[in-house]
Structure 1
Amino acid sequence: MGLFDNAVPGGNITKPLMIALGALLVGKMLSGRSAEQPEQSPAPAPTGPAPTETTSADGGLVGGLGGLLDKLRNAGHGNAADSWVGTGQNQPINANDLGTAIGPQIIREIAQRTGMDEQELLKQLSTALPGIVDKLTPNGQVPQQHQVASAFNS
């Protein structure tokens, strides 16, 4: 995993948490558990806009890293989100505040995809996101979506 090693206090990221982060930030399901979305076959060429719950094919459930940061800022957690992007110390975020910012339907969907309890998912995400966002923004700038996606492929 490289980039994500030691991004979380206390050790490396578990597979369900990687799946959750992938769903949020890049729309990827990193396990083959989702029956309706086979992982190994190449994606067919889009024939037109299809109704979907995700904001884009590669922007995750919240519109990628930029979308996640916008949701946090709009929910009044801009100082914390900006601290993760910036080069100073990362401010924590409360699990319930994170859940409110992301939205209950997105949390519910990610919990179902990962097999995690919603509260446990929020607890782990609130612990992991400051370090992950910090690692994804080493120069204090939000990378392009394809750069975020490539971090999940390495």
Structure 2
Amino acid sequence: MSLFGQLAGQLLNSALGGGAQQGASPLLQIAASLLESQGGLGGLLQKFNAAGLGEQAASWVSTGENLPIDASQLSQALGQGTLADLAGQFGLPADQVSGGLAQLLPKLIDKVTPNGSTEGSEALIQQGLSLLGGLLGKTA
């Protein structure tokens, strides 16, 4: 199984309340859409840096402990419009999306940067998105 497949399994069990598999696929799809809309991992990390959350974002990439963010910090970094658009695309409340992404993104970014560097992570993300699309019945 690929790293992203393992990650998806872990996130299904931990990030969404210990086995709440029904809500996991939409949140992973939302994270994928977010990465795509922000120009990939680099663009997303730039958003966090610009919003004063560079220390948190850097902790997710590094090999140390991940610093948390909350839904309001995520909303500040990404903007209400971005979160509202994502929520609308998936038919979910914006506060649920922001709360879920605040829990998911640190773990997701940590897993796709296992060596403490973003180098090579874009290819890993693309492989993961292709795998996720296959699991969800979509062609990449």
Counterpart of 1:2, as a letter, is Q
CA distance in 1, matches of 2:9, 2:41: 19
Q: How big is each residue's C-alpha offset from its partner over 1:85-114, in whole Å with a ceiling of 9 and x where there is no partner? A: 000000000111111101122111110111
User: Is the 1:4–1:135 contact (alpha carbons within 8 Å) kept by the matching residues of 2?
Assistant: no
Equivalent residue runs for 1:31-50 within 5 Å: none
Question: Normalization by structure 1: what TM-score?
Answer: 0.72
Q: Could you tell me which of 106, 110, 134 is aligned with 1:130?
A: 106
CA distance in 2, matches of 1:5, 1:85: 20
Alpha-carbon offset, residue 11 of structure 1: 3.5
Q: Radius of gyration: which is bigger?
A: 1
Q: Alpha carbons of 1:144 and 1:88: their partners in 2 closer, same or farther (altered >3 Å)?
A: closer
Structure with the higher fraction of residues in helix conformation: 2
Alpha-carbon offset, residue 145 of structure 1: 2.6
Counterpart of 1:6, as a letter, is Q
- Residue 21 (structure 2) pairs with residue 11 (structure 1): no
- Residue 34 (structure 2) pairs with residue 24 (structure 1): yes
User: Is the 1:62–1:102 contact (alpha carbons within 8 Å) kept by the matching residues of 2?
Assistant: no
Q: What is the aligned residue count?
A: 120
CA distance in 2, matches of 1:86, 1:105: 29
User: Is the 2:60–2:107 contact (alpha carbons within 8 Å) kept by the matching residues of 1?
Assistant: yes
CA distance in 2, matches of 1:6, 1:131: 10
User: Is the 2:113–2:121 contact (alpha carbons within 8 Å) kept by the matching residues of 1?
Assistant: no
Q: Could you tell me which of 94, 106, 110 is aligned with 2:70?
A: 94
Q: Could you tell me which of 6, 15, 19 is aligned with 1:2?
A: 6
SS across alignment from 1:15: helix
CA distance in 2, matches of 1:112, 1:146: 28
Question: Normalization by structure 2: what TM-score?
Answer: 0.78
User: Is the 1:86–1:134 contact (alpha carbons within 8 Å) kept by the matching residues of 2?
Assistant: yes
Alpha-carbon offset, residue 4 of structure 1: 2.2
CA distance in 2, matches of 1:153, 1:99: 27
Q: Could you tell me which residue of structure 2 aligns to residue 45 of structure 1?
A: none
Pairwise CA RMSD of aligned residues? 1.6
Equivalent residue runs for 1:67-86 within 5 Å: 67-86=43-62
CA distance in 1, matches of 2:18, 2:60: 18
